[in-house]
Amino acid sequence: MVRTYGCGLLCCALLLVPALAPAQDKKPVELRYTSNAPPKGNPWAMQAERLAKNVDEESKGDIKIQIFLASQLGNEQDTVQQVARGRIDMGSFSTGSVALVVPEMALLSVPGYFSSLQEQDCVLDNHLVPLVTELFDKKGVKFLGWVEVGTIDLFGTKPFAAPKDLNGVKAAAYASKSQMVTYASLGATAIPLGIPEWIPAFQTGMAQVVMTSITLALPSGLTKVAPVATRWGMIDTPGFQLMNKASFDKLSKPQQEALLRAGARTPAPQFRKEVREFETTLYGMLEQAGGTVVNLSAEQRTVWLKTLAPNQQRIADEIGGSAKQMLAAMEAGRKACTK
């Protein structure tokens, strides 16, 4: 009897071992995160690494984010569509790229639309999130929150102080309605190119100007071939942190909550502050390296605003879809934010 009882305990113990082993050996969920940011020395790389760390902490190691910087998985125009298709789990993207998935987002980069950074930030945070979330959901993408690309200026081989200076110029462009319409209205020839193609385009003479941020232009080496920056102040473009909706839905409820908590640890105003402070530093570095920074006067800026204003409705018409609804929400937000 004693021998049988002892065997029973031993058998139970042995039976428990394989039952416990899978829980102990459970591997964390791995999510691939893409960004075109250079690998170091810029806020976007730091922000991606911070997100990965926060997700690891909030999920207690149950979710690991693998970061792929410097367009390792492809240029933004391709990778944002791969996120929509579920081939890449998540990433951060500029407005020009996400407009390939949700065309209405191009309205957020209409030159001269917002009167100030404060107005834009207020509209984004307080008036557009529900509509933006809905539009991305329809494309199988989860909107995780705003990040920041920065002030979009004109980089080229010469200054572009007035609208007429772009007449006949060849421009590297995102394949977005906003940029295409803007360039066309100024008499420039827009050539849709991925970001990695910009430098070769300038080297071969295919492009003479591009609308982008100093936070991308200097770290990427673009300013070596486009060393003249015209600070026209017409656009400050938001960025988007996105995730494939199916990838998010596959996570357990605790994992989803951990991911969202991790994202909430860095609010949108902090992303903006980090990028905008970095801009000031980089413009100083550009001048130190021998580049030229052209600052427009109030009068010059007024000429630009008057020239570009008619494009706002035209861009909405070109986009179609829910663009008019989006523009109406932006208008309502502007009115509310100026009260």
Output the CA torsion sign for 167, 170, 176, 179: negative
Given this model, what pLDDT does residue 178 score?
87
Q: Choose among 184, 177, 193, 191: nearest CA to 163.
A: 184
Given this model, what pLDDT does residue 2 score?
41
Question: Is the pLDDT reported for residue 100 higher than 80?
Answer: yes
Question: Is the pLDDT reported for residue 122 higher than 90?
Answer: yes
> Mean of the pLDDT values across residues 135-151?
97
CA atoms of 188 and 269, how far apart (whole Å): 35
Q: What is the token pair recorded at 27?
A: 């591997």
Q: 20 pLDDT band (50/70/90 cuts)?
A: very low
> Mean of the pLDDT values across residues 130-150?
97
DSSP 48-111: HHHHHHHHHHHTTTSEEEEEE-TTTT--HHHHHHHHHHTSS-EEEEEHHHHTTTSGGGGGGG-T
40-75 pLDDT, tens per residue? 888 999 999 999 999 999 999 999 999 999 889 998
> Mean of the pLDDT values across residues 162-175?
94
Given this model, what pLDDT does residue 13 score?
45
Question: Is the pLDDT reported for residue 11 higher than 50?
Answer: no
Given this model, what pLDDT does residue 6 score?
45
Q: Choose among 297, 280, 137, 290: nearest CA to 213.
A: 280
Q: What is the token pair recorded at 35?
A: 């960004």
Domains of the chain: 27-337 (3.40.190.170)
Question: Is the pLDDT reported for residue 255 higher than 80?
Answer: yes
Q: 10 pLDDT band (50/70/90 cuts)?
A: very low
Given this model, what pLDDT does residue 313 score?
86
Q: Are strands 228-244 and 141-156 parallel, antiparallel or unpaired?
A: antiparallel
Q: How high is the mean pLDDT of the chain? A: 91
Given this model, what pLDDT does residue 25 score?
64
308-328 pLDDT, tens per residue? 999 988 998 999 999 999 999
